[in-house]
Structure formats: C-alpha cells, structure tokens
Amino acid sequence: MQRVILPGGTIGVLGSGQLGRMFAIKARRMGYRVHTYSPDTDTPTGQIADREWIGDYDDLAKVRAFASKVDVITFEFENVPSATTDAAAECAPVRPHGSVLHVTQNRLREKRFLEQHGFPLPDFRPIHQHADLLRGVTELGFPCVLKTAGWGYDGKGQSRINTPDDVEDAWIALDGAEGVLEAFVDFAHEASVVAARGVDGSFAHFGLFENNHQNHILDLTLDPGSFDVALQAEAVEIARGILETLDVVGVLCVEFFITRDGKLLVNELAPRVHNSGHVTFDNCITSQFEQQLRAVCGLPLGATDRLRPGVMANLLGDLWAEGEPNWAAACAVPNVKLHLYGKMEARPGRKMGHLTALADTIDEARTAALAARNALTTR
C-alpha cells in the first residue's frame, strides 16, 4: 500500500520555472514544504519554495542529496535527463515515473507510443538520414513540418517545408539531430485536456480547453471552449486512455489538433501542469496545481467543477519594450487576476506572467482579458 504524504511533508520539484512557482503556492497553502532543484538561482519557484537547491541535473550526487530531503518528487519541466530521475528515485518516489518522461520528452518515442496504442495522431516519419527526409517528403507531400525529436517547445526546432526548395534548408536546420517529419494539419482549432491520475488509478479532468496561439506560443486559453459535448467527451476519453496506458501518477496535458471535419488528433503530450491549465488557478474548485499535489501525495483528487467561465491571456516579454507595463490600468478591469512569475529579465517571446479574466460568459471573459492586456501598454 502506497504511503500518503500528508500536510507537513516535503515535496521536491525538479525544475524551477513558473509552473513550479504556482505549484509551490498551492502546496504552501495546504501546509506542505517545497524544495526545488535546478541549475539556476532566484528562480520563479525558488522565490516561493522553502529551499532552492542549485545544481546541474547531471550532478547525481547532489540530486541524491536533494531527493533524500524530500518525501516525493515531481516535475515542472520534462527535459530532465533519465539518469537524474533514476538517481532521485533511489531516495524518494518520483511521480510521474521517469519512464513517462522518457516517452514524452522525445517526439519520436512519443509518436511511436501513440501509434502503437491506437491513439489518433498526424501521419509521421522518423528522420535519421538525408534519404529519410527525401523519402518522407515524397510520402507525406507538401506542406509538411520537420521537427527535432528532442528538446523542442513553443515552436523551437521546427521547420515548415512548403515546396521542394525548402527541403535542404530544413535538413540543414536539423543540424544532424534525430528528427520527425509530420504531415501538415490544416486544423480548425487547437485544444487541450489537462487531466490527473491518482496513485489509486482515480481520474479527474478539466474538460477540453480551446487554445489560440501566436508565433507558436500560447496566447489565449478559453474555458469552456466552443466544442460540442460529443467532441469534449471523446477528447477526455483519449486523455484517460493515455494516462492509464502510461501509468501516470500526477497531471498530464494532451494537446490536440481539431481538424476542419471535426476529428481529434493528438499533437503533443506534456507530463506536468500546463500553460493552458493556468486558468484553473482562479476559475475551478481545484486547480491543476493543487491536483498535481494531491495526486503525487496520494490524496484523493479534488473536484474540478468550473466556478465561472474564464480566459487566460499570456504576458510575454514584448510588453516591456517601451518600459514597465501599466499594471494599475490592467488591474482596473473588473474580474481580472494578475499573475507575474518573478522573472527579472523581460525578453521578446519570454513568458513573464498571465492574466485570468472571469465572467458570466466566455465572450465577456475574453473581452475583459484582452482589455486588461491592452491596458498594459497605455501611458
């Protein structure tokens, strides 16, 4: 029987960004202590945690020392080496297990997993050599997208191939890395299901979020999305199947493309709390962050009822181009919550915070979120 880690216990977090920060806020509220481990100092998570461990992920002696001081370990960042998770698991339970990270931190392993277990996904080809790319382009046709198999996010490591003239540039951009060539999906919507699975196999979800991206970075999340009941139910069942097949303990996000004829295709998996679930911090009885805590500690999963429709709007470093944003103007918009991540340096495209707007309808919430974000640049 798995030991339940009760309030007063210590949670270890591998990674130290904004996801860990919001997780730590919820954990501290419930009476837990939090230790975070990453190569950086004065981090978004470290500013909230009880202890900030600073070390490289390949410093396995320090990883073991960190793990020996906590009761359970989870992630806010999936690009952690397998050796790190194995070393940590010698001293404390790691949830989700390192095998989940092994699958999801590599696009090719992830797609082969999805294909093997019958989950719907875009057609793809593994790319190891130049000949693989030439053959793959012939089989998938134009346009298609070449992606690095590992270490990619927010559109990084991707090249769209529109014509035969683009093939060589895409191959050069791959720079010898393992790649995945994907058929281009002319989707109508992007969406996601953030779901949790407990130690006992219990399952909870937040429904199907509607996501809007700009330059490959999430811009807005709408909860609820504009989808019919049958499509939402199908997406949730796909997510349930993925979590069960991977034997996830914790939170996992399934990102979907919804095609113009209404079919669901799995785009990516993220074995952690997710940017599209930030809206739940304010508009649900139990947020994704508290749900992650409950799951990895062996507590019952919380109710995921939506209190009010909500919209999350990301705040990128571009907003600082003309100086400090006008926080007072944004906060003057009723029913808007401001979340800043404690990052000292604003850079274009860097996620610095987000706004959550709540309202009686999703249209009203979207209008408020956009009005508050636009107000940030008023002088």
Q: What residue ranges define each of the domains in the chain, with the CATH number in brackets?
A: 10-94 (3.40.50.20), 123-183 (3.30.1490.20), 187-375 (3.30.470.20)
**pLDDT at residue number 202:** 98
Which two structure tokens, joined as six digits, stand for 369? 């979120």
**pLDDT at residue number 329:** 97
- pLDDT > 90? residue 151: no
Q: How far apart are CA 184 and CA 123, in angstroms?
A: 9
The pLDDT tens digits of the residues spanning 203-224 come to 999 999 999 999 989 999 999 9
In 279-361, the DSSP E strands lie at 310-316, 336-340, 351-358
- pLDDT > 90? residue 99: yes
The pLDDT tens digits of the residues spanning 271-298 come to 999 999 999 999 999 999 999 999 999 9
* Residues comprising the chain, all counted: 379
Question: Order of strands across the sheet with 144-148?
Answer: 124-127, 179-183, 144-148, 158-161
**pLDDT at residue number 248:** 98
Please state, as a whole number, how many other Cβ atoms lie within 10 Å of the Cβ of residue 259: 16
Which two structure tokens, joined as six digits, stand for 45? 């998570």
**pLDDT at residue number 155:** 55
Burial readout 291-311 (b: 16 or more C-beta within 10 A, e: otherwise) = bbbbbbbbbebbebebebbbb
Q: Which pTM does this prediction carry? A: 0.95
Q: Give the β-pairing of 203-214 and 179-183.
A: unpaired
